[in-house]
Amino acid sequence: MKINIRLIAINNAYGFGKDWQLEVNKGKKQKVFWLGQDCKVCSRLLGLGMGELAEHIKTKFNTDCVLFDRKDINNYLSRLILGTMYDLEPEELESQETLKQIAYDIFDRPAWEMSVQ
Report the relative pairing of strands 3-11 and 18-26 from DSSP bridges.
antiparallel
* 18 CA to centre of own chain: 14
pLDDT band at 110 (very low <50, low <70, confident <90, very high): low
| Confidence label for 107 from pLDDT (cuts 50, 70 and 90) | confident
Between 114 and 22, the higher pLDDT residue? 22
Please state the rounded mean pLDDT for residues 8-25: 87
Has residue 98 been placed in a domain? yes
Whether 115 has a pLDDT exceeding 80, the answer reads: no
Is residue 66 situated within a structural domain? yes
pLDDT at 56 over 60: yes
> What domain count does the chain have?
1
Whether 114 has a pLDDT exceeding 50, the answer reads no
pLDDT at 117 over 60: no
Q: Could you tell me the sign of the dihedral formed by the alpha carbons of 70, 62, 60, 15, in that order?
A: negative
- Identify the domain containing residue 91 by its residue range: 3-109
Alpha helical stretches, state H, 1-117: 38-40, 50-61, 71-86, 96-103
The structure's pTM equals 0.78
- Domain annotation covers residue 104: yes
Percent of the chain's residues with pLDDT above 90: 8
Rounded CA gap, 71 and 77, in Å? 10
Ramachandran region of residue 19, left (φ > 0), alpha (ψ -120 to 50) or beta? beta
Going by C-alpha positions, the residue among 31, 27, 11 that lies closest to residue 82 is 31
Q: Is residue 116 part of a domain?
A: no
